[in-house]
Amino acid sequence: MLSVSCVSRCCATQPIYGFLSPSRGHSSTSALASPSFRRVQTPSGPMHVLNDVEIDLETLPSRVVPERGAGVGWAAHWLAIEGVQPAIPQNPVRPSAGMRPGAFAAPAPAQSAGAEQGSATGKSASVKPLIKHVLSRELQLYFERIVSSLLAAPLPPAPDTAAASTSADAQSAPTNSAREAALAALRGDAGLAQLLPYLVQWVGEQTTAHLTDAQALSVVLRAAEALLHNSTLVIEPYLHQLLPSLLSVLLSSTLPASPLLRTHAAALLRHIVVQHSSSYPSLRPRLLRTLRAALQARSTPAGQSAATKTGAVLGVRGLGKEAIKKVLVQQDTMEALGQWCSEKEEEAGEVQRVVLEALSDLAPSYSSRRRPANGTASSALSARVGDFWAEQLMRADAATAREALLALLADETEEARHVESTHEHLETEGQRGERPQEQEADGDDTEMALL
């Protein structure tokens, strides 16, 4: 029976009380853990009961009572954040084994200039380890299926080509149901949280690889648009990776003349600014500085490109009327553009067209303003935008842009006069307030002299 009791303890089961052997004089773990029994004589016969420890009731009240426990409480913690379980004590510890075969890994951070200099001089430089992100096999297959379906042949025609074609050609254009299904998944699937960094990285890689292919870029822009319109994804941490791709499409000099494709990129920039400028207040000013630099640049090859100038104007126009006022309708910007158009007369036609269209967007806001005479208008325009654009705006086909710009100038002049009159009024009120104080001080001096 002793062996049965030992086996019961090894299996963490309840031992069989009443049939345990005595310790036989040796101290062991099994002997200490075994209960002891004592024989008690009763009227009905002898009985064996557990040899309980006797408690002295006199010393019991003086014993130290253990403190009361804290009881049951509730606490909240993150089980998962965007599909990734955080490493906190409340969550189970993940195994530290290597990655499974075929798992994705985030790209290694670029080596900084300080690290390169340290390696060149022989000094040790700290390099951040590779951050590994484990994806399930199902997510890997899902990602591969989506990206392969997006750029699968036949590619859709470029937006400018499709706009120039007839309705019959547009109906006969090849369509790809797999591509449309992939775009629909990017637009509405709620399970893309773990794939989002890889999809944003794919957009950047494909933009760089197809800067001369308008058809592929149109698909890439549609994929970026689908990600931006997916309300279940948190896209804000990846805007710094997505914005360079959109600006590349907008300002690239290697991309063929594609106004509609660049307009699509400008519309996506506008969507990002409208949706996320409250979280990133510096987003809009930084974009405007980039576009202003592209409009005023002339020393670089990109600054000499008509495609870059056109894309910058479309980007400013896409950001709204305030952006047009702050960037485009400025003397330094318009003079730089006018000088470039004078030097590049053969390529300046598209730039002039988009500039006049951007100025025409200001017309609804200033439709009720009075317009000056033609002679005064020409001089006012020359003083603001330069002689080149004043000549362009005085043409008959630029009447809408001319009227809008003249109304804007009249509004600024009226506002300046109002500010000046307000300042003069405040100064006059201040002088009137000082005179009674001086008279009161003179009266006090007279009263003191009489006393």
Q: Which residue intervals of the chain bear CATH 1.25.40.770?
A: 140-163+175-276
pLDDT at 239 over 60: yes
Asked if the bond preceding 154 is cis, omega within 30° of 0, the reply is yes
135-144, 165-174, 223-232, 344-353: which has the minimum mean pLDDT?
165-174
The CATH architecture annotation of domain 140-163+175-276 reads: Alpha Horseshoe (1.25)
Using the predicted structure, report yes or no on whether residue 436 has a pLDDT greater than 70. no
Whether the predicted pLDDT of 105 surpasses 50 = no
Look at 34-38, 71-75, 78-82 and tell me which has the smallest mean pLDDT.
Answer: 34-38
What's this model's pTM, rounded to 2 decimal places? 0.63
Which is more confidently placed, 201 or 107?
Answer: 201
Find residue 105's DSSP bridge partners: 132
Q: 302 with 340: CB under 8 angstroms? A: no
Q: Report d(CA 74, CA 87) in Å as an integer.
A: 20
Torsion on CA atoms 13, 19, 21, 27, rounded to nearest 10: 40
**What's the alpha-carbon Rg for the chain, to the nearest Å?**
40
DSSP 327: I
Question: At 15, phi and psi to the nearest 5?
Answer: -70, 165
In degrees, to the nearest 5, what angle opens at C-alpha 231 toward C-alphas 227 and 232? 95
Structure tokens at 411: 């509004």
Mean pLDDT of 205-218: 90
Contact 209/171 with Cβ under 8 angstroms? no
Region 213-220: mean pLDDT is 91
By the 8 A CB rule, do 186 and 221 touch?
no
Among the listed ranges 51-55, 327-331, 410-414, 434-438, which one has the minimum average pLDDT value? 434-438
Residue with tokens 């750029």, as numbered in its chain: 151
User: Residue 63: enclosing H or E segment and its boundaries?
Assistant: none
